[in-house]
Amino acid sequence: MKRALSRLLPITLKGLCLATVLSCAPTQAQDGLDGLDMPGAAAVCFGMLGISEPRALAICDALALKENVKARELAQRWIAEQPGSAAAQFALAEVLVQVEGNLARALFHLKRAEELTNYVSLGRAIAAGNAEWHFLTLSQLSYVYQLMGDQEASLAYLDKIEAVYGQEMESFRGWPLIKMQRWDEARASANEVLSSSNDPRERSRAWNTLCAVELASLRPADTLEACDTSIAEDEKLAEDSSGETNTVFLMNAAEVALSMLRIPDAENYLRRATPYLNPGSVGDPWISLLYLLMNQSRFDEARSALDNLLLWRDQQDPIVGVMNRAEHFLVSATFLLLAGYPEDAATLSATALNQPDRTGSFSADEAQKDSIAALINHIANQTAYEQKREEAAWLDFPASLQARVQAQGFRFKAWRSGRHAASLFANPQTLMNRLRPYAPLDVHIPEWVEPDLVALLGEGVIASILEQTRDQGAFRLNEGYYYAYRTEISALRGDGRPTLALAERAFELLPEEESMLRARLHARVAEAAWRLGNVEVALNNYEEALRGDPSVLRRLGLRLPVRISAVDAPFEREVMGFLEDSPRFVSNPEGLDLEVFPQNELTICLSSRGGVPLSCVQMGPIDETQQLRPAQQLVQEFHTQTFGLGYDISQSQRMRLLGSSVILSAQNNAGARQNRDTVLGP
């Protein structure tokens, strides 16, 4: 998802040290219960000092040693023997949150613990001897409701903590208020904290809140004073507390830099974040970095980033896994789409769509995540449709017929997910926010993917919203993105000359880092110029499109004009026939050169009119496991290499992208962490 201010605003109850899942510092655990007499050893349990209950301490020890099954068994046995114990109910809820990320079940036990304590004053809590469990229960209820998206309930429990324990909670109100888009209230809350508190953590949260309010405006600012101060506060806090680089701070800084279109600065922040694994943080810097690398057509680096992303994901705490799994699925699906595995991309995006995330730590909500997942799923299925059409061109009749049937199946799925995406994007305000480059407080969509909304929602709808968005100032930092949308609209309308003029303006203004978006523009210009009969402009732009994004012609369903030639021999003639039938090519004497010729081994080579090779594939060893003749294997490989990234990603690797259960992940964390320093380099 977009670096929505879960990164900028990690507003949880961490500052109060109320739950071990938040890895709280033990020196702060007692702050919320000043004056309470809690005898016993000063053991840190569930993030709090002074808990002396032997069963609770045993569960905490098991959790600290990653003996997760033992912790669950101890908590379940405690509840079975003492179902009326608030401590037992809270302990099992904490295990469910930490070990399994099972928030719904944890909520059940937290509500039971609340029923068993439900004190209305500090005196009654102390008299009952359950003050610490009541305090922990209220705190964790606020956190769990936040993650589950019920921000009103989260605020209500903050009020309850203040009423019973006198604990100041104002600095934690900002995030729920932002989630509900109550910007004025969030601003007022943050200013109140800044005027009354000297606590560095509370002030940092307040500046983060003001930063989010600044970014919420559709009109981008040249400087974001609150965000800059927030970054400085976070950096100082990180240095004062541990001396280590703070992953969340760096991702915050990257998000702010992107919102201001300072793309190199954003990459620098993310690079600094990647060596420092933070299993408890919802932010994975490899997700953002992978998107940036893909945007810039740095595919080899992106392939490596995908491997590191998986390593980071496998070591996350379970509660984090249920919060950001859609992010991992969607960025992986996007890479697989480029790499030539659209069917797997469709599976991943459908998984992201069908499995609800806990988005309470993200400014983006569930509907935003669903809209992007539906859009990626639409593109993946549409690309799979085009790929199946290609296969039908070289397969024998029975297999060709089956491929055509499968193609129509993908086409139907693409239509269905496209309609779903269109319905989710239909709100005008949603669209206006979406069209802003690197829109903050929203789910991430690569800038080269967003123009697909034009075809889904209609040129007229997008054209109208685009002008409103421009008038609101969303493109003030760079109008190249505005002209990129206008180019897409003009191309889909079939307006040739306006397409060329608008694209030229976009090329002049867009940041150089937008390589993939530029490749899309080149493809649109090439198609328009070819229809206008401007062969030289068309061929030059086809070449640039293929260099910037080999998958773009397949994704957009475009045909490349080529002049096919070969020696007059049976094998070569068979290969030529397959190429002529492919939906990726249209035979034309003025097209690019597509040659089939012997050169040690038979070779297919696509070249510019100047003779510069664009894609060449040589016949390799015959794969006896495929039911394809050599000529068919050669043509298949040529399409794979020419309209994909050329990476051989095994089936097992692609299946791994779907992930494993959070319980298994948690059990494997300890062993995986032993290897992380050798894998994640600086």
**Long-range CB contacts (within 8 A, 24+) of 388-395:** 389/583, 390/554, 390/582, 390/583, 390/584, 390/639, 390/643, 391/636, 393/578, 393/581, 393/582, 393/583, 393/635, 394/578, 394/581, 394/582, 394/631, 394/632, 394/635, 394/636, 395/628, 395/632
Does residue 20 lie in a domain region? yes
- As a whole number of Å, the end-to-end CA separation of the chain is 24
The answer to whether the CB of 5 falls within 8 A of the CB of 363 is yes
Q: Domain for residue 285, yes or no? A: no
- Does 527 share its domain with 397? yes
Instruction: Give domain status of residue 610, yes or no.
Output: yes
* Domain membership flag for residue 314: no
For residues 143 and 41, membership in a common domain is answered with yes
How open is the CA angle 525-410-447, to the nearest 5 degrees? 40
Q: Do residues 337 and 379 lie in contact, with contact meaning Cβ atoms separated by under 8 Å?
A: yes
Examine residue 334 and state whether it is found in any structural domain, yes or no: no
Do the domain assignments include residue 622? yes
pLDDT score, position 14: 33
User: Quick one: 152 and 29 in the same domain?
Assistant: yes
Q: Give yes or no: residues 569 and 548 share one domain.
A: no
Same domain membership, residue 596 and residue 491: no
Least confident segment among 159-163, 231-235, 414-418: 231-235
Q: What is the pLDDT of residue 658?
A: 76
User: How many angstroms separate the CA atoms of 401 and 67, rounded?
Assistant: 55
Question: Domain ends where: 151, 167, 183?
Answer: 167
Q: What is the pLDDT of residue 676?
A: 30
| Residue 618, strand partner residues | 603
Residue 229 or residue 543, greater confidence: 543
Beta bridge partners of 599: 601
Q: Which of 513, 530, 556 is the last residue of a domain?
A: 556
Same domain, 402 and 480: yes
Q: Is the pLDDT of residue 441 over 90?
A: no
Q: Is the dihedral of CA 317, 651, 287, 555 positive or negative?
A: negative
Residue 518 and residue 392 in one domain: yes
CATH code assigned at 74: 1.25.40.10
State residue 103's pLDDT score. 87
Token output for 422: 């269109």
Cα-Cα-Cα-Cα torsion 237, 240, 242, 244, nearest 10 degrees, comes to 70
Let me know whether 518 and 585 are in one domain. Answer: no
* Boundary (domain end) residue, out of 528, 556, 584: 556
Q: Return the HEC string of 585-604.
A: EEECCCCEEEEEEEECEEEE
Considering the domain architecture, whether residues 497 and 603 belong to the same structural domain is answered as no
* Total structural domains within the chain: 3
Residue 485 within any structural domain of the chain: yes
Mean pLDDT of 38-61: 78
Q: Which of 114-128, 250-264, 626-640 has the lowest mean pLDDT?
A: 250-264
Which helix (H) or strand (E) element contains residue 618?
strand 613-618
The answer to whether position 309 is within a domain reads no
Of 44-48, 61-65, 109-113, 642-646, the poorest mean pLDDT is in 44-48
Q: Give the up-direction half-sphere exposure of residue 217: CA atoms within 13 A in the CB hemisphere.
A: 16
Lowest mean pLDDT among 189-198, 227-236, 486-495: 227-236
Question: Are 160 and 20 part of one and the same domain?
Answer: yes
Token reading at 585: 């090519």
Whether pLDDT at 39 is above 70: no
What CATH number corresponds to the domain at position 358?
A: 1.25.40
**Same domain for 120 and 43:** yes
Distances (CA, A) of 589 to 592, 598, 643: 8, 22, 22
Which residue segment(s) compose the domain that 473 sits in? 350-556
Give the tens place of pLDDT for each residue, 252-296: 778 878 888 989 989 998 998 888 777 777 778 999 999 999 999
Alpha-carbon distance of 524 to 503, in angstroms, equals 8
* 613 shares a domain with 513: no
The H or E element containing residue 393 is helix 366-394
